[in-house]
Amino acid sequence: MTPKEPLHKTVVKLVGVVVFMGGLAWASVPLYDLFCRVTGYGGTTNASAGNTDGVLDQTIKVRFDASLARDMPWDFKPEVRQMELKIGQDGLAFFEAYNPTDRPIAGTASYNVTPYSAGAYFSKVQCFCFEEQILQPGERMQMPVNFYVDPDIVNDREARFVHTITLSYTFHMMDEQPDPNAQAALTAEPKPTANYQ
């Protein structure tokens, strides 16, 4: 503070700095996510409406990996461990989740692609990731992933030497879980009967 600067101007500047830093902290997660999606950094994949660049004669292997966070009680696995397809060709893989507990469990999946250099070229057309999935006790669910490898991968200095891509999913338990009592009340509620005359 300069000798001639009033105290209230200094306070306003300090509050401005605090607000600015808070805004940066709040925006850091979505900005980092945007950065990863644009650059493919950290194995982040692209979302796409479909391939419009054609299919190449060159093939690539895609491996599928499934894991669970420490507190997630589900069973979770890919139906096929690996598939080989042409670059640009649509692929369809299924993952299976099973809830062996006696209560409904809600979860979400995060994903990652390795090697990281291939992340920007792995495009998902349809995916179950980042959407809440709820499995009832004893319920088993198949979840599809529709994807393709962008033909531009062959023009990338590093990624063009990739012959195998691994797509990994990890299921995490949601903080807010379904209320088993509310679910039981819904299933126990008598269904209306039709009155035909």
Residue 11 domain boundaries: 7-39
User: Is 153 within a domain?
Assistant: yes
Phi, psi of 96 (to 5 degrees): -115, 130
Query: Do 19 and 52 have their domain in common?
Result: no
User: Is 184 within a domain?
Assistant: no
Per-residue pLDDT reduced to its tens digit, 27-72: 544 444 444 444 444 444 445 445 556 899 999 999 999 999 999 9
Query: Do 140 and 71 have their domain in common?
Result: yes
Query: Do 62 and 24 have their domain in common?
Result: no
Q: What is the pTM of this model?
A: 0.65
Query: Do 102 and 71 have their domain in common?
Result: yes
Classify strands 133-135 and 105-114 as parallel, antiparallel or unpaired. Answer: antiparallel
How far is residue 197's CA from residue 180's CA, in Å, rounded to a whole number?
Answer: 38
| Total structural domains within the chain | 2
User: Residues 6 or more apart from 137 whose CB is under 8 A from it?
Assistant: 99, 101, 102, 103, 104
Query: Do 68 and 163 have their domain in common?
Result: yes
Handedness of CA 50, 122, 164, 80 (dihedral sign): negative
Query: Do 62 and 138 have their domain in common?
Result: yes
